[in-house]
A and B are shown apart, each in its own frame.
Chain A
Amino acid sequence: GAVVSQHPSRVICKSGTSVKIECRSLDFQATTMFWYRQFPKQSLMLMATSNEGSKATYEQGVEKDKFLINHASLTLSTLTVTSAHPEDSSFYICSAPRGGASTDTQYFGPGTRLTVL
C-alpha cells in the first residue's frame, strides 16, 4: 500500500533555532501534500497545503514566514520551523492524497514530535 514517511520522528532543539521536517511519499507521486499540527488531546489542525512547483497555501492564522514549506519534487515536501520557540512544540503530521488533491484517500506520515526548549 501507499506509504508516507517523515523524518525526523523526534527532534529537540533550543529556542531560536530552525528545524526542518521532511515528508516523503515512498511509492507514489504526490503533487499535493498537507501539513497538520496536533496539540495534546486536540484534533489535527491543517496548517498549509504544499503544492509541487508552486507556493504553498497557508491556513488563516499560520505565519508563512515562520513555517516555510518547500515542495521540491513529486515525492518530497519539507516544513521548516524558523526561529522555533517553546510554543511551537507540537506533533507535526503530513499527508498525501494518492492520485491527486481531490482523491478520496489520504495517507498520513508517522508524525514528528518537536520539542523546543
Chain B
Amino acid sequence: KQEVTQIPAALSVPEGENLVLNCSFTDSAIYNLQWFRQDPGKGLTSLLLIQSSQREQTSGRLNASLDKSSGRSTLYIAASQPGDSATYLCAVKSYGNNRLAFGKGNQVVVIP
C-alpha cells in the first residue's frame, strides 16, 4: 500500500522567502506525482504534475522535482507571497491503480 508523507506539516515564512515543501512515498513504482493547493474549506487546485519519467516540472514561481528511486518530491515556491498561504498536498498515482494516494499536506502561512 502506497503511503505518502509530507514534511513539515506546517510552516510560517516571511514574505519574499523561498518555500521548500517535501513529499516522500514508500512505493517507487509510481505512474505520476501531482502537487495540489487547497485553501481552507475549498477543493483542490492542481499545480504541477510530474510523470514518472520526468525529473521536474516548472510553472512560474513553482518548481517540483521528482526522485523516484528515493521516493521523494520537493515543491519549491520562489519569492513567497501572502497569497501563497494555503495547504499544499502531494498525491501519487501508482501503476495499475487509478487511485491517488495523498499526503496530509504542508500548511503554509506567508507573513506579510
| Interface residue ranges, A against B (CB under 8 Å) | 4, 6, 32, 34, 41-46, 49, 91, 93, 95, 97, 101-102, 104-111, 113
B1-54 interface with A by 8 A CB criterion: 4, 32, 34, 36, 41-46, 49, 51
Tell me if B46 and A43 are in contact (CB < 8 A): no
Tell me whether B43 and A93 are in contact (CB under 8 A).
yes
Instruction: List residues of chain B with CB within 8 A of the CB of A110.
Output: 42-43
Can you list 22 A-B pairs, Cβ within 8 angstroms, ordered by A? Answer: A32-B98, A34-B99, A41-B104, A41-B105, A42-B104, A43-B4, A43-B89, A43-B102, A43-B103, A43-B104, A44-B91, A44-B100, A93-B44, A95-B100, A104-B49, A108-B36, A108-B44, A109-B43, A110-B43, A111-B41, A111-B42, A111-B43
The answer to whether A46 touches B43 (Cβ under 8 A) is: no
- Whole-angstrom CA separation of A97 from B104 in the bound complex: 21
Min CB gap B24→A, angstroms: 14
Q: In the complex, how many angstroms separate the beta carbon of B112 from the nearest chain A beta carbon?
A: 24
For chain B, the count of residues having a C-beta within 8 Å of the partner chain is 23
Q: Which of A6, A32, A106 is the most central at the interface, judged by chain B CB atoms within 10 Å of its CB?
A: A106
A52 CA to B61 CA, complexed, in Å: 39
* B98-A49 in contact (CB<8A): yes
Residues of A within 8 A of B49 (CB): 104-105
Contacts of A107 in B (CB 8 A): 46
Which chain B residues (75-95) contact chain A, with CB distance < 8 Å? 89, 91, 93
> What residues on A are CB-neighbors of B32 within 8 Å?
104
Q: Tell me the complex Cα distance, A105–B35, Å.
A: 11
Q: When the two chains form their complex, are residues A104 and B102 in contact, meaning their CB atoms are under 8 A apart?
A: no
A104, B51: Cβ atoms closer than 8 Å: yes
How many angstroms from the CA of A97 to the CA of B45 in the assembled complex?
13
Contact status A106-B100, CB under 8 Å: yes
Tell me whether A44 and B89 are in contact in the complex, defined as CB-CB below 8 angstroms, given that A49-B99, A102-B98, A104-B51 are known contacts.
yes
Q: 6 smallest A-B Cβ distances: which pairs?
A: A108-B44, A110-B43, A43-B102, A43-B104, A108-B43, A44-B102
